[in-house]
Structure 1
Amino acid sequence: MIQIPPSAIVQWGGAAVFANVLLTRLGVPLPSAPLLVFAGSVVATGRLSFAHVLFAALCGALLGDGVWFAAGRLYGRRLVAALSRRSYAVDSGMRTAGELFERHGAPIVALSKFVPGLGLVTPPLMGTTQIAVVAFFLWDTAGIVAWASFWTLGGALFERQLHLAVMALESHGATVVDLLAALALLYCAYRLTRRREPRARSGSHSRDGGG
């Protein structure tokens, strides 16, 4: 069972949020919402500052999105094509983000933070378009602030319920870190499954066609 001393939460809470969000934005299959919810519950107890958590999430997300946006500007459609070949989920997300951008313009950068599958693919795709760098980062910042605030304030709002859940975990010999690790593993397994879906479908179609 992994224990987190209160002093460690205060000292490393912001750094953990920054690292988690950055890795997620770079494409590592890790969920970031659960950690923000946990950080929000700690904010409600007064051991963490909401501003520090929000700033950490903003910096991590902007850095990760900036890397993908710059890659899109440098490599253009070749990068989009390479990413689309990686998995059906990425290819579908690219097509959806492209259609929404054509229909609604720059605001899709902010809205994509709340749509599963679009948050990661939108920055590199936007890098291949004519969107101005300033416009991209302004909308990206707005989306990140709204997204991070939603999960952090949600954790603060339901702090009592989360505290009771943590107590229930501890009564069974587990902690919130164990829960976060389990959620990360489940999310990773889900991402891997999504990547293999088109291969299974294509194999099924080829067998049907061969018959």
Structure 2
Amino acid sequence: MIQIPPSAIAQWGAAAVFGNVLLTRLGVPLPSAPLLVFAGSMIASGRLSLSHVLIAAVCGALLGDSAWFSAGRIYGRRLVAALSRRSYAIESGMRTTSELFERYGAPIIAISKFVPGLGLVTPPLMGTTRIAALVFLLWDAAGIVAWSAFWVLGGALFQRQLHFALVELQMHGATVIDLLALVALLYCAYRLLRRRTPGRSGDEPEARR
């Protein structure tokens, strides 16, 4: 059982959110929503600051997305092709994002934060387009603020239920860190499974028509 003192939560909570979100945005197969929900419950209990957590989440996500956007601008379609070869899920996400961008324009950058599979592939793909860097950053920031606030405020709203769940965990010899670690492992397994999942058998022939 992994224990974490309340003082460490108050001191390192925002830093943990920053690191977790940054690694997730860079492509490390780690979920960031569970930690944001937990941070929200800590905000409701007075152990963390809402502004500190939101700033940490936004800065981490913006830094990661900016790195991918810059890589897309430097390496262009070669980067998109290399990423697409890694897995069918990434290739499908690239194709979907490209189609949505052509149809709806820059706002898709913000909306993609709420669509599984699109948040990670959108920044490098946008880097290969003619969209201005400032426009990308503004829409990306808007989406990140809405996305992080959604999970943090959700955790604060259901703080009482989460508290009861944590008490139940402690009664069974576990802590929230154990739960977050388990969720991370399951998420990694899910990402690896998706990466190895080929497209439907009917996709390739249909694409050739």
TM-score (norm 1): 0.94
How many residue pairs align between the two structures?
202
Q: What's the offset of the Cα at 1:41?
A: 0.1
Residue of structure 2 equivalent to 1:113: 113
Distance 1:99 1:42 in 2: 40
Residue of structure 2 equivalent to 1:152: 152
Residue of structure 1 equivalent to 2:207: none
Distance 1:20 1:40 in 2: 15
Residue of structure 2 equivalent to 1:209: none
Residue of structure 2 equivalent to 1:19: 19
Per-residue CA deviations over 1:149-177 (Å, capped at 9, x if unaligned) read 00000000000000000001000000000
Distance 1:161 1:183 in 2: 18
Distance 1:150 1:195 in 2: 28
Q: Percent same amino acid at aligned positions? A: 78
Q: What's the offset of the Cα at 1:198?
A: 1.3
Distance 2:176 2:190 in 1: 21
Residue of structure 2 equivalent to 1:129: 129
Q: What's the offset of the Cα at 1:4?
A: 1.1
Report SS of the residue matched to 1:101: helix
Report SS of the residue matched to 1:193: helix
Residue of structure 2 equivalent to 1:172: 172
How big is the alpha-carbon RMSD for the aligned residues of Structure 1 and Structure 2?
1.1
Distance 2:14 2:114 in 1: 22
Report SS of the residue matched to 1:163: helix
Distance 2:144 2:18 in 1: 13
Structure 2 gap segments, 5+ residues each: 205-209
Distance 1:58 1:128 in 2: 23
Distance 2:106 2:34 in 1: 28
Please state if 1:48 is matched with 2:48: yes
Report SS of the residue matched to 2:198: helix
Q: What's the offset of the Cα at 1:3?
A: 1.0
Distance 1:60 1:153 in 2: 18
Per-residue CA deviations over 1:104-161 (Å, capped at 9, x if unaligned) read 0000000000000000000000000010110000000000000000000000000000
Q: Which amino acid aligns with 2:160?
A: R
Report SS of the residue matched to 2:197: helix
Residue of structure 1 equivalent to 2:191: 191
Distance 2:30 2:46 in 1: 27
Structure 1 gap segments, 5+ residues each: 206-211
Report SS of the residue matched to 1:198: coil
Residue of structure 1 equivalent to 2:28: 28
Report SS of the residue matched to 2:93: helix
Per-residue CA deviations over 1:19-71 (Å, capped at 9, x if unaligned) read 00000000000000000000000000111010000000001000000000000
